[in-house]
Amino acid sequence: MIRNKGLNSGGAFAWFFQRITGIALFLMLLAHFLLLHYSGIEELTFEEVSRHLSQPFWKVFDITFLLFGVYHGINGLFMVLCDYVHHNAWRLLLTGVLWLGGITVVVLGSLTIFSLGI
């Protein structure tokens, strides 16, 4: 059974935001590598990362990076799930697993970012 993925179903938003987060992730990854790995720091140590994360700008940057990355990954997996899982019960179960996994990654990542640099 083919489901309607038109404008009213939220499919257009998911498709559009998948592209937006992809571009944002590329730019944020480029900034991350240039500023942390190629900025002249001899060795990236725990103290250096803690000092880096003690600044509010970098906490917001890393949380945004985390949220965009998780959304982009979960949304991509959900699109694959909708394409290949045709039984509604399995689709519902796997969607719940995706939500649970995404929430877990966001909570653990946020706790890590907020606990460093205090």
Assign residue 47 the CATH number of its domain: 1.20.1300.10
Question: Nearest Cα to 80, choosing from 62, 98, 64?
Answer: 98
Q: Residue 73 domain-assigned? A: yes
Q: For the chain, what is the domain count?
A: 1
Alpha-carbon 80 to chain mean position:
17
SS3 readout for the chain: CCCCCCHHHCHHHHHHHHHHHHHHHHHHHHHHHHHHHCCCCCCCCHHHHHHHHCCHHHHHHHHHHHHHHHHHHHHHHHHHHHHHCCCHHHHHHHHHHHHHHHHHHHHHHHHHHHHCCC
- The structure's pTM equals 0.83
Q: Residue 69 domain-assigned? A: yes
Q: Residue 94 domain-assigned? A: yes
Q: Residue 67 domain-assigned? A: yes
pLDDT value for 2: 52
Q: Residue 75 domain-assigned? A: yes
Q: Residue 1 domain-assigned? A: no
pLDDT value for 41: 72
Q: Residue 3 domain-assigned? A: no
pLDDT value for 42: 76
- The mean pLDDT values, 10 residues at a time, for the chain of 118 residues are 54 88 96 83 82 90 96 93 91 95 97 86
Domain that holds residue 86: 9-115
pLDDT value for 13: 85
Q: Residue 65 domain-assigned? A: yes
pLDDT value for 35: 83
